[in-house]
């Protein structure tokens, strides 16, 4: 079963460990750190392991915008992305 919760600072290393771009680019690691600390990041968890993350903010003309949806390569096509997307849609405070 896949569950979703807001990301916390302790998740940053896990997110960076499976995000292939974060493994080689400091800019992506800083992005992850920024969205986690700002409360914009949500993680997908299965068997107590973080397997994906997504980011919801309101920077696109004040509309809800999903800036990132990333799933660990071992868990792609498991439904984790769809669960994250549905969760963000339920949280979005704008009609667009």
Q: What phi and psi, each to the nearest 5 degrees, are found at residue 93?
A: -95, 0
pTM value is 0.87
In a domain, residue 22? The reply is yes
Inside any domain, residue 74: yes
The per-residue pLDDT for range 32-74, each reduced to its tens digit, is 999 999 999 999 999 999 999 999 877 766 766 788 999 999 9
Tokens of 72: 């660990």
Domain limits for position 32: 3-91
The residues pairing with 94 across neighbouring beta strands, listed in sequence order, are none
Residue 49's CATH number: 3.40.630.30
The contacts of residue 21 (CB under 8 Å, 6+ apart) are: 28
Task: Supply the pLDDT for residue 5.
Answer: 96
Number of structural domains in the chain: 1
Inside any domain, residue 96 = no
Residue 27 placed within a domain: yes
């Amino acid at each position: 079963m896949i569950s979703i919760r807001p990301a916390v600072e302790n998740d940053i290393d896990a997110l960076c460990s499976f995000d292939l771009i974060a493994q080689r680019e400091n800019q992506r690691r800083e992005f992850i750190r920024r969205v986690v600390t700002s409360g914009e990041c949500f993680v997908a968890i299965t068997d107590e392991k973080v397997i994906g993350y997504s980011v919801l903010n309101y920077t696109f003309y004040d509309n809800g915008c999903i800036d990132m949806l990333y799933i660990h390569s071992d868990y792609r096509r498991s439904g984790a992305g769809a669960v994250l997307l549905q969760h963000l849609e339920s949280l979005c405070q704008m009609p667009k």
